[in-house]
């Protein structure tokens, strides 16, 4: 059989069968590869597949194109190499004399996938459609995430059906069997262990909803990467291009996902703010019953406690109805411009919530403009969601008058003084239905609406998306909610619904999508609830700490949602320990090994030292003993100090496994690891959970002769904070002096596997601590 190879041997075209195979490291991993388009001519459904002996091809240095046509369409399948991956897209042209309706573009169809190990044991990264949709890694044999059997759930989270489907991006990671491991070259062993991972991810996302579907169980049947074109008409002579799909291989699924996000950011011109925002939000304490006075009371508490919270967000409850945003609920708010002005006078940024792509059935806007509503196949208003208890219809963002109204609404909110906009329930713009513009896909309808909002609020305003299908938002939003709502309970009140409000659900998704942070946007893991159990919360101390730890470790936005004036001192300290956001996301080392990842690690390197921060999560409902190997945390071989950042407790030194007894239910042990040295060292700061990664601005070592040294640590953190600065003093050294801000302190030297100088003090914005040590 004749064969033709392209792009450095990564593509092989088999003639006369007319099928393609893909190779990684000179080894074929996918065979029987083709593409297709599904379309309709009148009522008749048709398909044109790019396979067979009549396929033509042309190749240049960087591009190869395979082509096939029928009586109506020409199909061009384009491949190119980019970096260490391949990218592919379809173009179709209507060569007939009649319009056709294009339903889907199958950019990649794979009939055989040659990966190591049993198919059932492959791990599949399943990315949800919108902010709240379950996201994480599933064992293929276990099937997709469990989901409620309801129309409402399918509307919100399963736009293309159930099964092992992943929106925009998927990674399949396969571990090798024992016999295969013996034959694996060392070059193919990476951070993720032995085996291989394949990424399939669309790197343009503006025009079509796109998915990767894996049909497999005990056996592999097919993989499809498809773009949904929603039946849009293609006139004679018209052409249409699919989104661009990237295929890459590696041994570390997290790195593959991070690389995919970087490529999307490049092609979609992602907006990443210079600073990751922090602030306060009214929702999770008042739940829509807040008044202007409640906003002012919390604003005063921010000032009184000197909390470094930049934003104050007025959430749901100020408006008369969903869709009537400029008409106020007069019992609670009478002048939203005055609220914004007050927030700004306090030196904070005013923020406001809307759900702009929904219209309450009884809202003035819906009653006056029924033609602005998306319609179902029967011509009835398309239902989007229930909003306590109003029925909400979907706004047709392709209707010119609706777009003008949307622009006027947001321009007015901006004129009121708001520059931070939390826009929610945005999936409504992309639900199935009939729209004013029949040539717009669901993705284009959604993106048009977002573009109108962006134009109205200006380029300098911050736009935070929530309940939003992620792909079409890239390049328009500055921030993105990456998980379900948190809640005042750990588990969801809707068992079996991983998208429902619940702190565990929010934490799970935030970990699985943290790679998007500062690549595609500022990621929003949702609000911190720092208040104690009993104050409108059922979260235990350990559950609240887990929420705080994951927000800190994933590095994203931090909006607290407590009644700040009533927070006890200990819970204020918890909040302060997370501020400001770190801006960097930790690595979930076991994401591809467990349904619920337990190991988050963030390496930190500064001119004055290197350390690792680890979050070890106990997802179970029982207290357990946790044992972890240093190598499992990605630490280089050596001996390490171990410090518990939550408890401000030194746990000793180790060069092997670490055992943590009494690991409480739903608790995250937050540990700092720093290499042991033979000289005095600064160990940690507890003013921030990150152990000095945020608040320590300099560490100076002064050598005073051959046998004497001073260590000075400079700390900066806005507000008033209590914490500890800890130094290690090895045997053979003595402490001569200790100071905080120039005042001598009684030397507190403790011996717990190492000699420590442990100084606690209240930091007012900035300060320094010093130890003077000499050799004996």
Residue 468: which residues within 8 A CB-CB, separation 6 or more?
Answer: 130, 131, 423, 426, 427, 477, 480, 481
Q: How far apart are CA 504 and CA 545, in angstroms?
A: 12
The structure tokens listed for 450 are 């977002």
Q: How far apart are CA 761 and CA 484, in angstroms?
A: 38
The structure tokens listed for 324 are 């009537």
Three-state helix/strand/coil letters over 464-477: EECCCCCHHHCCCC
485 is catalytic: yes
- 612 beta partners: 603, 673
Of 424, 478, 560, 562, the catalytic one is: 424
In terms of C-beta density within 10 A (0-12 exposed, 13-18 middle, 19 or more buried), how is residue 216 classed?
A: buried
- 245 beta partners: 88, 202
Rg (Cα) of the chain, in Å, rounded? 28
Residue 689: asked if its preceding bond is cis (omega within 30°), the reply is no
Chain centroid offset of residue 290 CA: 29
CA distances from 275 to 271, 517, 578 (A): 12, 12, 15
Of 485, 524, 526, 562, the catalytic one is: 485
Q: How far apart are CA 499 and CA 509, in angstroms?
A: 9
Q: Among candidates 43, 109, 42, 111, which has minimal Cα distance to 75? A: 109
Contact call for residues 683 and 643 (beta carbons, < 8 A):
yes
Q: How far apart are CA 762 and CA 434, in angstroms?
A: 61
424 is catalytic: yes
Contact call for residues 327 and 366 (beta carbons, < 8 A):
no
Q: With the CA atoms of 267, 268, 274 and 277 taken in that order, what torsion angle do they form, in degrees rounded to the nearest 10?
A: -140
Q: What's 120's DSSP letter?
A: G
Determine which helix (DSSP H) or strand (DSSP E) holds 404, and give its type and residue range.
helix 400-415
Q: Is the dihedral of CA 115, 117, 118, 122 positive or negative?
A: negative
CA distances from 297 to 52, 272, 352, 562, 570 (A): 71, 32, 17, 12, 20
Q: Among candidates 290, 351, 298, which has minimal Cα distance to 564? A: 298
Q: Among candidates 336, 383, 386, 392, which has minimal Cα distance to 363? A: 392
- 465 beta partners: 423, 480
Three-state helix/strand/coil letters over 689-733: CCCCCCCEEEEEEEECCCCEEEEEEEEEEEEEEEEEEEEEECCCE
**Strand ranges for 420-564 from DSSP E:** 420-423, 462-465, 479-481, 522-524, 558-560
Q: How far apart are CA 293 and CA 299, in angstroms?
A: 10
- 604 beta partners: 611
Say what angle helices 503-512 and 541-554 make with each other, to 10 degrees.
20
The residues annotated as belonging to the active site are 424, 485
């Amino acid at each position: 059989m004749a064969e033709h190879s392209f792009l450095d041997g990564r593509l092989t075209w088999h003639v006369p069968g007319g099928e393609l195979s893909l190779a990684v490291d000179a080894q074929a991993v996918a065979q029987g590869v083709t593409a297709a388009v599904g379309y309709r001519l009148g009522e008749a459904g048709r398909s044109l597949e790019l396979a067979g002996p009549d396929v033509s091809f042309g190749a240049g240095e960087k591009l190869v194109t395979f082509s096939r046509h029928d009586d109506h369409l020409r199909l061009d399948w384009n491949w190119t190499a980019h970096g260490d991956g391949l990218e592919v897209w379809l173009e179709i042209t209507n060569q007939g004399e009649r319009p056709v309706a294009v339903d889907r573009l199958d950019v990649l169809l794979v009939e055989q996938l040659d990966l190591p190990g049993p198919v059932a044991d492959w791990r599949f990264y399943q990315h949800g459609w919108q902010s709240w949709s379950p996201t994480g890694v599933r064992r293929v044999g276990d099937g997709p995430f469990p989901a409620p059997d309801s129309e409402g759930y399918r509307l919100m989270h399963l736009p293309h059906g159930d099964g092992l489907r992943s929106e925009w991006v998927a990674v399949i990671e396969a571990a090798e069997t024992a016999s295969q491991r013996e034959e694996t070259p060392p070059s193919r062993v990476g951070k993720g262990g032995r085996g291989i991972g394949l990424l399939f991810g669309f790197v343009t996302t503006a025009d079509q909803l796109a998915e990767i579907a894996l049909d497999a169980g005990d056996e592999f049947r097919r993989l499809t990467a498809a773009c949904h074109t929603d039946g849009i008409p293609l006139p004679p002579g018209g052409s249409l291009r699919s989104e661009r799909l990237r295929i890459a291989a590696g041994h570390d699924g997290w790195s593959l996902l991070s690389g995919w996000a970087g490529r999307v950011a490049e092609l979609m011109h992602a907006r990443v703010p210079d600073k990751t925002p922090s602030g306060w939000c009214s929702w999770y304490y008042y739940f829509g019953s807040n008044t202007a006075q409640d906003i002012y009371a919390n604003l005063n508490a921010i000032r009184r406690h000197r909390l470094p919270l930049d934003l104050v967000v007025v959430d749901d409850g100020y408006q008369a109805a969903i869709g009537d945003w400029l008409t106020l609920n007069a019992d609670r708010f009478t002048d939203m411009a005055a609220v914004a002005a007050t927030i700004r006078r306090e030196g904070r940024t005013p923020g406001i919530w809307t759900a702009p792509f929904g219209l309450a059935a009884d809202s003035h806007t819906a009653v006056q403009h029924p033609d602005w509503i998306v319609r179902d196949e029967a011509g009835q208003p398309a239902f989007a969601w229930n909003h306590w208890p109003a029925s909400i219809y979907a706004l047709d963002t392709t209707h010119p008058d609706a777009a003008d109204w949307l622009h006027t609404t947001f321009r007015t909110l901006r004129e009121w003084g708001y520059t931070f906009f939390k826009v929610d329930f945005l999936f409504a713009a992309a639900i199935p239905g009939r729209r004013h513009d029949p040539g717009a896909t669901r993705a284009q309808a959604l993106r048009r609406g977002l573009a109108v909002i962006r134009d109205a609020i200006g380029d300098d305003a911050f736009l935070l998306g929530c309940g939003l299908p992620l792909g079409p938002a890239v390049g328009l939003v500055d921030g993105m909610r990456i998980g379900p709502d948190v809640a005042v309970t750990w588990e969801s009140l809707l068992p079996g619904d991983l998208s429902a409000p619940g702190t565990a659900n929010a934490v799970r998704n935030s970990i699985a999508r943290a790679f998007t942070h500062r690549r595609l946007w500022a990621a929003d893991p949702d609000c911190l609830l720092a208040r104690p159990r009993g104050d409108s919360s059922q979260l235990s101390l350990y559950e609240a700490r887990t929420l705080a730890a994951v927000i800190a470790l994933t590095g994203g936005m931090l909006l607290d949602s407590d009644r700040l004036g009533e927070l006890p001192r200990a819970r204020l300290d918890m909040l302060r320990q997370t501020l400001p956001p770190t801006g960097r996301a930790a690595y979930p080392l076991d994401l591809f090994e467990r349904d619920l990842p337990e190991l988050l690690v963030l390496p930190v390197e500064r001119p004055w030292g290197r350390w690792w921060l680890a979050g070890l999560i106990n997802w179970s409902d029982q207290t357990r003993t946790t044992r972890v190997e240093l190598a499992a945390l990605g630490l280089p071989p050596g001996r390490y100090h171990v410090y518990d950042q939550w408890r401000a407790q030194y746990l000793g030194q180790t060069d092997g496994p670490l055992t943590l007894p009494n690991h409480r239910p739903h608790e995250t042990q937050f540990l700092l690891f720093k290499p042991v040295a033979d000289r005095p060292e600064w160990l940690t700061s507890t003013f921030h959970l990150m152990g000095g990664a945020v608040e320590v601005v300099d560490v100076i070592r002064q050598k005073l002769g051959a046998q004497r040294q001073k260590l000075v640590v400079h700390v900066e953190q806005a507000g008033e904070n209590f914490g500890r600065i800890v130094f290690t003093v090895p045997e053979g050294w003595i402490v001569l002096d200790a100071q905080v801000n120039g005042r001598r302190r009684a030397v507190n030297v403790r011996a717990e596997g190492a000699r420590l100088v442990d100084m606690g003090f209240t930091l007012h914005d900035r300060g320094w601590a010093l130890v003077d040590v000499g050799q004996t």
